[in-house]
Every structure is written in structure tokens, then in C-alpha cells.
């Protein structure tokens, strides 16, 4: 939680209380948000990595990302499903890539999704090009670790280098 609240300063008591109250009920039991994350194998370390630096915007950033990933019943929504299909990305991969997205986590995830998948959940030619060049989600995650809000643009630039001819790469 400390990395999420990094930089809050004087507002830390309120920010901590708001986030804590979102995650736990009055009897200090896990609230539905945490139960859903736990059920889906998403731990607070993953969330903390992604929301690092959200600061005073932590509650909004968390809710925005959660609502993008899950419906009201706690079922995965299509964007998250597209990534975590069989032989796809893991939540750990995504948390590494989106690490330090902070208050912009929702936008960073949406942009990354837009680069990797179409509206039907099919891999884009862009992502297929990486797979055809023997890159796996784990490889991409490792290379993009900590890219955060810049993940989609870095992936696009890396794509252009990977697909260059040998001659063009030598002059790059």
C-alpha cells in the first residue's frame, strides 16, 4: 500500500483510510473487491505494482481499473479475458508491464489492449508478429517491465525495430 500512496504527503491519513475502507469492511474482513481479486489470482502486490504512485487518486484509480477488469458480480470482463486466455499473458505479466501506471492505470491498460487485441478479442497482426518471431507474453512482459503508461508506445516502437530488415537495423 505504501507504494500506491507514494507522494501523498499530508493527505496520507485520508488516502490510507479511504483505500483501507474500500478493501475491508467495518469488521476488518475482506470486502468484495479483495475477494474478487483473490478469486482471480490477483494479489495486492500486483495491484500495488500497477497503482504505484497513484497517491491521493488511489481509490479512483483502483475502482477505474477494477471496473474495467470485472463486472458487478466479480466476473472478468472481455478486456482482461483477452489477455489471460490460455497461453496468453498472466496477471503477473500485466502487473509488470503496467507497473507504476498509478492514477493512469485504466488508460494504460486500455491502450495496451488496443495494441494487442481487436474488439472481438482476436490478437492484432501487431501481437501476432511478435508471436511469429518467437516472442512469448513472458518475454514481452520482461522487456516492458515498468513501462507503465508508456507500455503501448514502447511496444509499438519495439515492433518497428523487430520487423525491420537486417540492413535497416544495421543503420538504425
pLDDT digits (tens, 9 = 90+) for 33-44: 999 999 999 999
Q: What is the pLDDT of residue 160?
A: 86
pLDDT above 70 coverage of the chain, percent: 95
User: What's the CA gap between 45 and 49, in Å, rounded?
Assistant: 6
**pLDDT at residue 147 greater than cutoff 90:** yes
* Any domain includes 130: yes
How many domains are contained in the chain?
1
* Any domain includes 37: yes
Q: Are 15 and 8 in contact (CB under 8 A)?
A: yes
Q: Is 97 left (phi over 0), alpha (psi -120 to 50) or beta?
A: alpha
**Residues 81-110: tens digit of each pLDDT:** 999 987 799 999 999 999 999 999 999 999
* Any domain includes 54: yes
Sign of CA dihedral 12, 14, 17, 18: negative
Q: Other C-beta atoms within 10 Å of 53: how many? A: 20
Q: What is the mean pLDDT of residues 132-145?
A: 93
* Any domain includes 1: no
The parent domain of residue 45 ranges over 11-170
* Any domain includes 3: no
* Any domain includes 55: yes
User: What's the CA gap between 137 and 72, in Å, rounded?
Assistant: 29
* Any domain includes 5: no
Please give the model's pTM, rounded to 2 decimal places: 0.90
Residue in this structure with the C-alpha cell 500506491, named with its chain if needed: 4
Amino acid at each position: 500500500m505504501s507504494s500506491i500512496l507514494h507522494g501523498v504527503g499530508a493527505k496520507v491519513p485520508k488516502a490510507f483510510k479511504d483505500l483501507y475502507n474500500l478493501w475491508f469492511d467495518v469488521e476488518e474482513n475482506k470486502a468484495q473487491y479483495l475477494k474478487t481479486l483473490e478469486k482471480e489470482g490477483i494479489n495486492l502486490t500486483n495491484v500495488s505494482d500497477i497503482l504505484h504512485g497513484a497517491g491521493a487518486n488511489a481509490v479512483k484509480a483502483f475502482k477505474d481499473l477494477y471496473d474495467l477488469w470485472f463486472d458487478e458480480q466479480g466476473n472478468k470482463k472481455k478486456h482482461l479475458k483477452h489477455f489471460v486466455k490460455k497461453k496468453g499473458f498472466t496477471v503477473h505479466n500485466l502487473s509488470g508491464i503496467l507497473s507504476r501506471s498509478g492514477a493512469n492505470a485504466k488508460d494504460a491498460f486500455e491502450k495496451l489492449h488496443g495494441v494487442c487485441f481487436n474488439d472481438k478479442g482476436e490478437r492484432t497482426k501487431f501481437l501476432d508478429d511478435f508471436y511469429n518471431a518467437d516472442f512469448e507474453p513472458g518475454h514481452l512482459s520482461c522487456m516492458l517491465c515498468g513501462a507503465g503508461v508508456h507500455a503501448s508506445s514502447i511496444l509499438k516502437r519495439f515492433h518497428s525495430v523487430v520487423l525491420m530488415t537486417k540492413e535497416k537495423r544495421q543503420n538504425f
